[in-house]
Amino acid sequence: MKNILYLFFFFYTLSAIAENGPSFEIIVRKAGSSKAVTKEVYLEDLVSTDRFEGKFFRIVKGKNKEAISFKETDQKIIQKAANVYYHLTLARRFWLNQFGKSSDQKKSTTIRIEMSHQFDDQGQFANDHYSTHFNNAVSIPAGKSPDWLPLEKQKSWEQEIWFRPMKKVESKKLPGIGPNPLTQSLEALEQPFLSYSRNRFNQSLFEHLFYPSYAGNPLWQDVVRYAGTIALTKIIIESSRHADRLFMDKYYYLDTAMIPEIIYHEYAHLMLSDYLELTHSTPVVEGMADYFAALMSEKNKVYNRVKGFSNAAPKNRQNKTRYQHWYESNRFATSDFVLAVLWDVRETIGEKKADKLIFNMRQNLRTGFSSINGDLIDAVIRECENHCKEPMADKLKLYEVFSQRGF
């Protein structure tokens, strides 16, 4: 009887391996930590026995049409393909379970790794002589070539996700990406310092108007001192924004296909694209995708470094930075400010309500023109009015939180 059980277990194991196919090494975050570790997994929903071709995703290299083979000689390509496929499968399951929404179409979604070409809305791929892209990922809108092109050049394509190759770049050659820790610290001190200066000036003005004999200095000196304090404070903070590279490594690199949260982020773009089109990268659009990536990661800091694959700074969903008008600029599309504001909403009105509310918010946002201090805040309040169980009480809580953020 014992031998029969052993035989049964042996054949069951062989059967499971045959059904799942080969195993692959991918990157995951440790539970309760942001540390990245490797894990051996079997991939689900494959429809091919020798390629990264699945029911819902097909992983290709560059502009190729065929899915990457399991026999690919470059093991780095194998690992990237497996990592992307595995985490996209998790992302699809998350969205299906949470919101009843997935990327299911008649054809599986094409995912391109090592894709350095630019996107061309008239032909999908820009010509080879155009400049190439590295160290990022992008979600591509569906489209087709214009009718005026010759028939042999016309084509159509569905939504895709492109993961760019990794390339080491000298940090000093990068544009400012702030806010760096110095800027954040100065911003935190700005309001208390200016409030103190304002109170001192108001006291001096009061003395000059009602008790001139007690005034220690001429009024014009106090006006100049107060105006100079404000100007100097603003200059110092603005200057600190150009010190980003002092807080970075000598080289910057990012292999987006190997970072779990970036994969979740790009899939979130697809799920939000029925209203937030894949044509603009704005603080609001990117912040919405960041929110769901952070939700999936279950970590306070997302996009953390992964040794050998990324040395990029993480985004903190609990960042307490106050609103500044420059956060509206597309230059700050990759900052964590919108992510932190949306996380405030979640912590204020509760997890279940907030997740659905923020998902529904996409219907009230405009892809290329939504502001943070206006459209985003209005969308939160509007959805709360319609769906919060206690809208008046919840709205008051939200107004208080937004006030603390500087809105």
Single out the residue in 202, 228, 247 at which a domain terminates: 247
Residues 230 and 323 in one domain: no
For 342-355, how does the pLDDT look when each residue is reduced to its tens digit (9 = 90+)? 999 999 999 889 99
Asked whether residue 115 is domain-assigned, the answer is yes
Asked whether residue 27 is domain-assigned, the answer is yes
Residues 301 and 390 in one domain: yes
Q: What is the pLDDT of residue 105?
A: 61
Q: Which residues contact 257 (CB under 8 A, 6 or more apart)?
A: 80, 83, 84, 113, 114, 137, 163, 263
- Do 340 and 316 form a contact (C-beta atoms < 8 A)? yes
Query: Which is nearest to 103 in space by CA: 339, 254, 244, 271?
Result: 271
Asked whether residue 143 is domain-assigned, the answer is yes
β-bridge pairing 160-163 and 109-113? parallel
For 164-174, how does the pLDDT look when each residue is reduced to its tens digit (9 = 90+)? 999 988 766 56
Query: Which is nearest to 375 in space by CA: 388, 386, 365?
Result: 365
Domain count, the chain: 3
Q: Phi-psi region for residue 214, left (φ > 0), alpha (ψ -120 to 50) or beta?
A: alpha
Residues 27 and 79 in one domain: yes
Mean pLDDT of the region 86-114: 89
Give the whole-angstrom CA distance, residue 91 versus residue 85. Answer: 10
Q: What is the pLDDT of residue 220?
A: 73
Range(s) of the domain holding residue 231: 181-247
Asked whether residue 297 is domain-assigned, the answer is yes
Residues 239 and 126 in one domain: no
Q: What is the pLDDT of residue 204?
A: 74
Beta bridge partner(s), residue 26: 39
Where would I find the beta strands (DSSP E) of 155-300? Answer: 156-157, 160-163, 169-170, 251-252
Asked whether residue 9 is domain-assigned, the answer is no
β-bridge pairing 57-61 and 109-113? parallel
DSSP structure string for 118-170: PEETTTEE--TTSPP--S-EEEEPPEE--TTS-GGG--EE--EEEEPPP--EE
Residues 206 and 347 in one domain: no
Residues 68 and 207 in one domain: no
